[in-house]
Structure 1
Amino acid sequence: MRVLFAIDPSIAHLYPMVPTAWALQNAGHEVRLASFGGFADRIAATGLTPVPLGDASWAARISDDPLEPKGAEEAQRYADALGLNPEEREYWYLFFQYLLTPTADYLRPDRPEAHALIDYARTWRPDLVIWDLTQAAGAVAARVCGAAHARLVFAYDPSGWSLDRLAAGRDALVAAGLDPNPLAALVRPLAERYGVELDDELLVGQWTLDTAPPGLGLPTRTRKVPLRYVPYNGAEPVPDWLREPPQRPRICLTLGESYRRFIRGDWNRAPMLLDALADLDVEVVATLNDVQLDGYTPPPNVRTMEYLPLNQILPTCSAVIHHGGLGTFQAAVASRVPQLVCDTLESIMLRVEEETPEEAPDDTGIYRSGVEYGVREAEEREQEPTVRWVMPAKKLEATPVSNYVVSRGAGVRLNHQTQSVAELRESIEAVLTDPSYQRGADAIYDVWRAMPSPNDVVSVLESLAQDARNRR
């Protein structure tokens, strides 16, 4: 069969898709990966076939007219009307403030990408379309060409969860003067243009490829197909120094790739962590760049580099310190490595900075639409961005990840806002010396290993796609 993937133009969305795409291709199916035109080279580097959509020079997040996230006041009005508790509000903010914006990028009426995807689906005639959380146009394309379609979610599903809450609270939302389904409002113009019925299936897929290990996912009404998250981190030459076993405990420190492209500095987190590691008899490999270090000079026992595939470094490590990203968490699970997860436990709600740009002391922790460090600086825009968003000093999914790791004895939580350098060092030493953390990491690995692999899921996808075709 023919399988078309619709992917957000970022490696954080591409890399989790690659093992499933390769499994389908290795089983003899034709596979194509569609995304923004400028992302085609990234897709091609994985050995898979890209379908460029739209102008290769245009990138949604660093254009002159980028869409801004939803404001905090509106997000809170929804949460109040839905009666969400503090934990539930965090899942809602993730969906409403962080996922709706890239979804809207792809559905912009003044942009050709969604239409190019649908035109390609009409021509190529895929049997199955697999799309990620921000690529709802993939569902419309599937309906137009008669293909089956499914979402692939990365460890938990705030979109499916939020849509269930919206459906249950519809009357309260209408009474509060709020749109009862903001995702449907984004998808509706595209669906109507192509004569596609807007129903629940169009928003969540006919089924969901769910990579969440038991205990991490969110309850949803969606039909789930369990899928083991097989880490793919890109293909890079193995460095000479990595070919020899470490002479002392090796720790990997990685704080993510996405934030450092849009946020200067690291909320003083990286310097504190490196100071805590300085006096330990360990070797540290830190994947940090100049934007994250922001002038800080690492201690002698730290080797820094911008990027190193986690599936190369983690099998050699005694522990990993990371930002709580789902991809890094899953890579650590697959390598049986105890984890120290950075999590400030603060809300992920996005807020507009209160000071004016002239009064703001620096850009640390500030997100400005249309700016990417090293790619498009603020001065390259036609005018300075007027909205400065204060980002929480943690990864969006850090709290669910840290809760999962800590509750299973596979590691600890690090909080640079409440812990001193000495306390951070004590936590790191505990994970290195207490064998219970390794036993916890082994237990999580066993749960992960018991999930169906991408190869196992191919036959399931074949059957589901065939069933969908038979129902047409």
Structure 2
Amino acid sequence: MSNFLFATLDAGGNLPPALGIGRELLRRGHRVRFLGHAQQAKAVEASGAEFIPYRHAAPLEPAVAAPAHRQFAAMLNVFSDAGIGRDLVEEARREVPDVAVVDCLLLGAIDAAAKAGLPQVVLVHSFFAFFDGPFRRGPMGAVLSLKGLPPRRVVGRAERVLVCSDRLLDPAGSRDGGASGLNHRGRVVWSGAVVDDVGSEAGPPSANGSPPRVLASLSTTAFPGQQEVLQRILDAASGLSVELVMTTGPAVDPANLWAPANASVHRYVEHSQIMPGCSAVIGHGGHATSMRALAHGLPVMVLPMHPMLDQRMVGKAISDAGAGVLLNRKSSPEQISTALTALLESDSHRKAAAVVGARLRKAAGAEAGAQVLTNLAGRIGPDSGSR
């Protein structure tokens, strides 16, 4: 039995891949602990893993609305947070893990683990092309570099970089040498998207639903203007022959939205319970929800909410694969309505989503990711003589 210590943060779609791999490790009989923000305790404990709250982490409240510059500052504080690194190292000293698995955004913790000599895997929960591209080269990466945490150098000290995404959709994985900056000795590996709550026999949606059901769900983070986008989606559904199910998460109060007769708005509904009966999904390009929708064989409409994040890249990859459409977040209700009607009527989008979905399910990302970790633990564990 090996011992794994995960370090994560409350940033929405980054947690499900880690939990999926954690559940698979537990199923195989391994010890799994999660360090995280207090509000993550319920989700982690529901997976069966042990949860340890950070004691020295900077505050993080992603569901609280704030101007863009304050959100940037809050994210920067967490990504570079020495307190999280301190908690990770202290917990590892209390009970030594075979491998520490650290979220790719926690550059401060990755750096602290490397300096403490902890064997670690960096978990990338979206496209590697974004993390090692726009993130690294953009404003966030530039400021992190000024703080002594250049992403490529820091992450390059890990034993492995585990990318929980589909290699063919990820622009870095679909071209040879795309990860060359970090990939010496095969350091960067793709597990496939972690969609372990989607059955292996899930298939494409029926084209004959009457009316077709559409799930609409944007980010759990309170991005500026998100409530207005949700309202335009509801307005777009008015008059269409669809059943729209919308989930707002903690970022938007459903009471602040007007819903037409053919729509229902909920704070939370488990997406894995809704998607099997859906014909399409409308989202913001969050990697976790987008991959889960595709794993169900559902075409996806993407309206990115933040220009500095991975959302547009995810939406473009889905569009390029023929499995959905990419719109602007400022699209009018009429534009959303027209695009949704076309998406629902399109055999080509439905067939392309089915092809991608079958590939995601076959990859079994949680199992593949767990195997990468157990192989590494076996090579560098305390009884292997490799430390």
Q: Common fold, TM-score beyond 0.5?
A: yes
Query: Which SS does the other structure have where 1:60 is aligned?
Result: coil
Give 5+ residue unaligned stretches, structure 1.
Answer: 72-95, 167-177, 189-197, 234-244, 350-395
1:45-94 C-alpha deviation (Å, 9 max, x unpaired): 332101222169x73348xxx9x9599xxxxxxxxxxxxxxxxxxxxxxx
CA apart distance, 1:10: 4.0
Cα distance in 2 between the residues matched to 1:302 and 1:204: 49
Give the one of 302, 319, 327 matched to 2:288: 327
Give the one of 271, 288, 294 matched to 1:310: 271
Contact 1:36/1:55, CA 8 A, preserved across alignment: no
Contact 2:254/2:266, CA 8 A, preserved across alignment: no
Give the one of 182, 206, 209 matched to 2:159: 206
Give the one of 175, 190, 193 matched to 1:226: 190
| Aligned position for 2:307 | 348
CA apart distance, 1:459: 3.3
Query: Which SS does the other structure have where 1:32 is aligned?
Result: strand
| Aligned position for 2:365 | 453
Task: Read off the aligned partner of 1:409 and give its amino acid letter.
Answer: G
The answer to whether the aligner puts 1:337 opposite 2:298 as a matched pair is yes
Give 5+ residue unaligned stretches, structure 2.
Answer: 173-177, 198-207
Contact 2:98/2:380, CA 8 A, preserved across alignment: no
Contact 2:17/2:366, CA 8 A, preserved across alignment: no
| Aligned position for 2:59 | 59
Contact 1:252/1:313, CA 8 A, preserved across alignment: yes
CA apart distance, 1:187: 5.8
CA apart distance, 1:99: 5.7
CA apart distance, 1:246: 6.9
| Aligned position for 2:78 | 102
Give the one of 434, 437, 456 matched to 2:349: 437
| Aligned position for 2:119 | 148
- Describe the shift of the 1:424–1:200 C-alpha distance in structure 2 as closer, same or farther (beyond 3 A): closer
CA apart distance, 1:471: 4.1
1:159-205 C-alpha deviation (Å, 9 max, x unpaired): 43469869xxxxxxxxxxx9x975455467xxxxxxxxx99365562
The answer to whether the aligner puts 1:216 opposite 2:180 as a matched pair is no
Give the one of 289, 297, 314 matched to 1:401: 314
**Coordinate RMSD, CA, aligned:** 3.7
Cα distance in 2 between the residues matched to 1:468 and 1:165: 33
Task: Read off the aligned partner of 1:404 and give its amino acid letter.
Answer: A
Cα distance in 2 between the residues matched to 1:119 and 1:97: 26
| Aligned position for 2:243 | 283
| Aligned position for 1:31 | 32
CA apart distance, 1:324: 1.3
Contact 1:15/1:232, CA 8 A, preserved across alignment: no
Cα distance in 2 between the residues matched to 1:421 and 1:407: 24
| Aligned position for 1:410 | 323
Contact 2:234/2:258, CA 8 A, preserved across alignment: no
Cα distance in 2 between the residues matched to 1:187 and 1:20: 31
Cα distance in 1 between the residues matched to 2:50 and 2:293: 28
Task: Read off the aligned partner of 1:348 and give its amino acid letter.
Answer: P
CA apart distance, 1:44: 1.9
Query: Which SS does the other structure have where 1:12 is aligned?
Result: coil
Q: Percent identity?
A: 24
Task: Read off the aligned partner of 1:299 and give its amino acid letter.
Answer: P
CA apart distance, 1:264: 6.1
Cα distance in 1 between the residues matched to 2:317 and 2:27: 33
Give the one of 236, 249, 254 matched to 2:217: 254
- Describe the shift of the 1:38–1:265 C-alpha distance in structure 2 as closer, same or farther (beyond 3 A): closer
Cα distance in 2 between the residues matched to 1:61 and 1:295: 20
CA apart distance, 1:414: 2.9
Give the one of 106, 122, 137 matched to 2:93: 122
Task: Read off the aligned partner of 1:205 and give its amino acid letter.
Answer: A
- Describe the shift of the 1:465–1:70 C-alpha distance in structure 2 as closer, same or farther (beyond 3 A): farther
Contact 2:162/2:188, CA 8 A, preserved across alignment: yes
Which structure's CA Rg is the greater one?
A: 1
- Describe the shift of the 1:53–1:102 C-alpha distance in structure 2 as closer, same or farther (beyond 3 A): closer
Cα distance in 2 between the residues matched to 1:452 and 1:204: 27
Question: How many residues are matched?
Answer: 356
CA apart distance, 1:122: 1.1
Query: Which SS does the other structure have where 1:116 is aligned?
Result: helix
Task: Read off the aligned partner of 1:4 and give its amino acid letter.
Answer: L
CA apart distance, 1:255: 1.5
Cα distance in 2 between the residues matched to 1:343 and 1:458: 31
TM-score, normalised by the number of residues in structure 2: 0.79
- Describe the shift of the 1:162–1:324 C-alpha distance in structure 2 as closer, same or farther (beyond 3 A): closer
Cα distance in 2 between the residues matched to 1:7 and 1:217: 25
Cα distance in 1 between the residues matched to 2:145 and 2:137: 14
Query: Which SS does the other structure have where 1:34 is aligned?
Result: strand
Cα distance in 2 between the residues matched to 1:216 and 1:59: 32
